[in-house]
């Protein structure tokens, strides 16, 4: 893909062009470098688990998470983008995915429904969150006992991420999550373009 097309996709994310934005969330060849099935398998989700897909976007991981938790589980597709959530809700109705529920979050609070979740999962969204330590400190109240937070985040190895500052270094994530009251439980290193860290509550 040429530079001009990539620039157009980046601009569409800012400008709010729905179809292009949905395309940009997946991107050409993403399945190869993202390894989504391996990522979801690494979570070890139990059937019936409740998962918040934080920054669900176009639903790239939402449907995979929903398959992993099964019909008795629940996936909350959380985003601050009304248009993207409407698209996800329409897809959910068309596909008959009763275990997917869209949630309009706030910039400082995911507003996860009452009852909490077993997992908060976020991919390529961490760098968009302002006041991240405060955000995830507040998010602790949504985690059930033994709950986990999985953060897949660009590591700055690609020119696109560096140019648009669409990444947070892994060590910075670790420091912020420690300050928010979490401990690191796992680090997966099989993604070339991203770090993949798993955290649990410190107390």
5 inside domain:
no
Which CATH number fits the domain that encloses residue 79?
3.40.50.150
d(C-alpha 160, C-alpha 167), whole Å: 10
Between strands 143-154 and 194-201, the pairing is antiparallel
Backbone angles phi, psi at 2, to 5 degrees: -75, 165
154 inside domain:
yes
81 inside domain:
yes
C-alpha torsion angle, residues 6, 12, 13, 14 (rounded to 10) = 120
25 inside domain:
no
Strand, coil or helix: 158: coil
> In this predicted structure, what is the pLDDT of residue 27?
59
Digit-coded pLDDT (tens) for 7-21:
333 333 333 434 444
111 inside domain:
yes
28 inside domain:
no
Look-up: residue for tokens 């897949």? 152
Digit-coded pLDDT (tens) for 6-63:
333 333 333 343 444 444 454 568 888 899 999 999 999 999 999 999 999 999 999 9
Share of the chain above pLDDT 70, in %: 82
Q: In the structure, what pLDDT confidence band is assigned to residue 160 with cuts at 50, 70 and 90?
A: low
Digit-coded pLDDT (tens) for 88-120:
999 988 888 789 999 999 999 999 998 999 999
Which pTM does this prediction carry? 0.84
Sequence-distant (≥ 6) Cβ neighbours of residue 22 within 8 angstroms: 57, 58, 84, 87
Strand, coil or helix: 154: strand
d(C-alpha 139, C-alpha 123), whole Å: 16
Concatenating the DSSP letter of every residue in 50-119 gives EEEEET-TTTTTHHHHHHHH-TTSEEEEEES-HHHHHHHHHHHHHHT-TTEEEEE-BTTB--PPTT-EEE
Q: In the structure, what pLDDT confidence band is assigned to residue 201 with cuts at 50, 70 and 90?
A: very high
Domain residue limits at 101 = 34-201
Sequence-distant (≥ 6) Cβ neighbours of residue 96 within 8 angstroms: none
12 inside domain:
no
> In this predicted structure, what is the pLDDT of residue 159?
62
158 inside domain:
yes
Number of structural domains (the chain) is 1
């Amino acid at each position: 893909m040429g530079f001009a097309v990539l620039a157009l996709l980046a601009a569409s994310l800012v400008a709010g062009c729905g179809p292009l934005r949905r395309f940009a969330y997946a991107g050409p060849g993403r399945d190869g470098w993202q390894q989504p099935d391996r990522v979801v398998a690494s979570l070890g989700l139990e059937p019936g688990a409740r998962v918040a897909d934080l920054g669900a976007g176009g639903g790239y991981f939402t449907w995979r998470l929903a398959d992993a938790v099964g019909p008795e589980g629940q996936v909350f597709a959380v985003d601050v983008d009304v248009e993207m959530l409407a698209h996800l809700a329409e897809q959910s109705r068309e596909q008959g995915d009763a275990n997917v529920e869209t949630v309009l979050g706030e910039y400082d609070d995911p507003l996860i429904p009452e009852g909490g979740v077993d997992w908060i999962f976020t991919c390529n969204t961490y760098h968009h969150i302002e006041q991240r330590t405060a955000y995830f400190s507040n998010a602790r109240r949504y985690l059930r006992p033994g709950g986990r937070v999985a953060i897949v985040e660009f590591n700055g190895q690609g020119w696109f991420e560096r140019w648009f500052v669409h990444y947070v270094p892994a060590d910075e994530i670790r420091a912020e999550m420690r300050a928010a009251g979490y401990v690191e439980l796992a680090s997966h290193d099989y993604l070339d373009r991203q770090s993949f860290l798993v955290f649990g509550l410190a107390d």
